[in-house]
Amino acid sequence: IGLSMRVELLLQGIAKNFGAEQTLDLNFGENSEIDTANIESVEFKLVTENGTPISNRIQLYFQDSLGTVIDSLFDGGPRDVMHAAPVDDQGLVYQIQRTETYVPMAISRFDQIRTAKKAYLKLAFSTYTAPDGSQQPVKLLANMNVTFKMGLKVKTRY
């Protein structure tokens, strides 16, 4: 006799500054070869489409091939880049929360990080906070999704 089962457990509760870390491979492609004397400006763009009741603060550290930190994305520490989707009285998300964050970077800093081979991402998760500052228990479901995209805009002089 064989039995196969899929069980989905509802997670309900409150979290504040729950940490997570991940290392990602990184390649700036043709932007790592541009002569910085020809660069006018550099800007990173982060876009999140969040279908969960969880927000996060992140800091991204650029590392060389040996894992040595070259620099970070944000000056002055982590920043809020993904805002929690709003929830109803039962703690269920009722709409997607889209957030765009623009991060200009000095050309001198970009000159150092463009050779980075890895990105070390540190996250701190917190559940939805109401406009009045209160937190209510929220529900996390298996069908909730988050999309996180990061792009780079390098404007050259020619």
Residue 6 has pLDDT above 80, yes or no: no
pLDDT of amino acid 15: 78
* Closest listed residue to residue 151, CA positions, set 36, 29, 21, 51: 29
Q: What's the predicted TM-score (pTM) here?
A: 0.81
For the cut 90, the answer to whether the pLDDT of residue 135 exceeds it is no
The per-residue pLDDT for range 82-115, each reduced to its tens digit, is 999 999 989 899 999 999 999 999 999 999 999 9
Comparing 108 with 28, which gets the higher pLDDT?
108
Q: What is the mean pLDDT of residues 9-20?
A: 76
Name the more confident of 53 and 130.
53
Query: Does pLDDT of 51 surpass 60?
Result: yes
Mean pLDDT, residues 69-94: 93
Residue 127 Cα distances to 46, 52, 134, 150, angstroms:
20, 9, 11, 23
